A and B are shown apart, each in its own frame.
Chain A
Amino acid sequence: MERCRIVFSGSGGQGVITAAVILAEAAVLQEHLNAVQSQSYGPEARGGATRSDVILSADEIFFPKVLQPNVLICLTQSAYNKYHSILRPGGVMLTDPHFVETHRGLDAQRCEIPMYQAVLDQIGKPVVFNICVLGALLGIRPLVAPDSILRVLETRLPGDFLDLNRKALELGYRLGTDCAV
């Protein structure tokens, strides 16, 4: 696969770091790719802007942070305002209109997907919002198979909760696939 640099950004409690860890872990443990994941630490991780960087590659990864992401996920307005300028020209900007109003004129494949509303309407548990986002990401860019994400979730979650997450992943994947076309 071609190297992909992804930045997840949002606010503490949205599960953006968890989503980033699950994606990178699935790439390494299930698909035998190389991946590194890191995150901003500190007081800002509690309620303020939260950021997690992931690099996926078939080759060895040296510099472990992302300076210019191919894919930028912004789940709050402040995260969007802070980070939108670092996206590589022509890269993917994934946002949720429930949280973020994007600028016109951004040189990006803009994917404004109402993931939060879809999770509320179809699943009713906002706690799985982050897995829906992960599903949407994989619908837009086939970085790893959704099954690989499920394998990782199986090691982390009890049965009932796993079902909710599976639904959220599938929901996001459908929404993402629609946007990718």
Chain B
Amino acid sequence: MSEQVRFVQGNEACVEAALYAGLGFFAGYPITPSTEIAELLALKLPQRGGKFIQMEDEISSMCAIIGASLAGGKAMTATSGPGFSLMQEALGYAIMTEIPCVIVNVQRGGPSTGLPTHVAQGDVNQTRWGVHGDHSIIVLTASSAQDVFAMTVEAFNLAETYRTPVILLFDEVVAHTRERLLVPEPGVLPLVERLTTSVPENVNYHPYLPREDGRLPMSDFGGIHRYNVTGLFHDMWGFPTEDPKTVHELLRHLVDKIENRTHIIAHYQTYHVEDAEFLIISYGCSARSARQLVEDRRLRGDRIGLLELQTLWPFPAHIVQQLSAGKKAVIVAEMNTGQVTASVKAAADDPDRVFLANRLDGQFITHYDIRNVLRLVQGKGV
């Protein structure tokens, strides 16, 4: 068992999980605070027969993983805010062409080059709407090395299941904190493999013709079938079209394949919510401070609970609505000006009872920061 217990940073947990999930290709341009992911994969991926390429920038990194995935491999890149901004155009292409891939964004302070070595959670809405045009996206996050592992494996599974890019939105604290990681034995966590077409060679393959269950089997690009891939609206052959019915159906498909499955894609943890009068909602590193507050206050008899979100998009409004109902107050703890708070207000029965506890100065939010907001809400003063 001892070889399965590791003491690692969140970034290394992400690497171990990506390898566990069957990563075959990584392209990236190292940037703090995600650098360890590229550094470790440069060492480990070739040892497993995979390919590692350091690209000239993040635009080409994103394009390279799209190509690798289309050719049949599980592909990933890792970056931080400035690089993630550069990836948006190609990210939209992957959404439109339905090419599975995983993009890690380890957040730092922004906008622009911002605070390279400090913590922030300001990219939540960029992951949702950084890409132009109507679309949907899956974004997962985590607050510990163990959860980074679980969510990274899940990201690869969701990418293959729904033929879509999946974003892993981590932060500097989780990425750089070292702690215990139990690496599961191979086979313990289920893996979703590529759904490939059964259409034989010399028979027409339609890359965007769904099966009866709605899924689109893929054919390794450059293999036995010739087909077209385009970022323009396209028909079942993959060729551009302006036919209104086809355009409408494709856009609905891109959105509905994710939004209609929010209840399946929604990952979250709850702590002491059953009898809670006050609910904290948090995610990523902030959820650790929130958990500390909840555990401390419970010892004093306060009825306070925590909802930790692990799926940020599609936003699990049904869970937030259900757990916030009847609470005296809901406090959202996050390191931005209220990006998830806005979604919580939209989901909650009483948005006036939703409050924000945040920090914007590059310093990690503490349980005392959240406690001060709680005391203000309770009318106790700081």
Contacts and interface: CB of A to CB of B under 8 A. Distances in A.
B5 interface: yes
A24 to B, nearest CB: 6
Interface string A26-47: 0011000011111101110000
B226 interface: no
Interface stretch (B37-45, B248-256, B289-297): B289-297
Given A29-B2, A63-B289, A64-B173, A36 B179 contact: yes
B263 to A, nearest CB: 28
B179 A28 contact: yes
Contacts of A24: 7, 178
A7 to B, nearest CB: 15
B172 interface: yes
A61 interface: yes
A88 interface: no
Interface string A137-172: 000000000000000000000000000000000000
Interface of B: 2, 5-7, 32-33, 116-118, 172-173, 176-180, 285, 288-289, 291-292, 295, 364, 366-367
9 contacts: A28-B180, A29-B6, A29-B7, A34-B180, A36-B177, A38-B176, A62-B288, A62-B291, A63-B292
Contacts of A21: 178
A67 interface: yes
A41 B366 CA distance: 18
Contacts of A61: 179
Contacts of A64: 173, 177, 179, 285, 288
A100 to B, nearest CB: 26
A39 to B, nearest CB: 7
Nearest to A32: B5
Contacts of B33: 41
Contacts of B177: 36-38, 64
A43 B32 CA distance: 12
Interface string A42-54: 1100000000000
A110 interface: no
B172 A36 contact: no
Interface of A: 21, 24-25, 28-29, 34-39, 41-43, 61-65, 67
Contacts of B5: 28-29
B77 to A, nearest CB: 22
Q: Is the interface of A mostly helix, strand, loop or mixed?
A: mixed
A67 B33 CA distance: 22
A37 B116 contact: no
Given A38-B176, A41-B176, A67-B366, A62 B295 contact: yes
Sort A-B residue pairs by CB-CB distance and give the 10 closest, nearest first.
Answer: A42-B117, A63-B292, A62-B292, A41-B117, A37-B178, A62-B291, A25-B7, A28-B7, A36-B179, A38-B177
Contacts of A34: 179-180
A169 to B, nearest CB: 19
Contact of B178 (A36, A63, A65, A67): A36
A42 B116 contact: yes
Contact of A63 (B32, B118, B366): B366
Contact of A35 (B32, B117, B173, B180): B180
A34 B179 CA distance: 8
A31 to B, nearest CB: 12
B178 A38 contact: yes
Contacts of B116: 42
Given A25-B178, A62-B295, 13 more contacts: A21-B178, A28-B5, A28-B180, A29-B2, A29-B6, A35-B7, A36-B177, A37-B177, A63-B289, A63-B366, A63-B367, A65-B173, A65-B364
Nearest to A63: B292
Greatest chain B CB density within 10 A among A29, A37, A64, A67 is at A64
Nearest to B367: A63
Greatest chain A CB density within 10 A among B179, B291, B367 is at B179
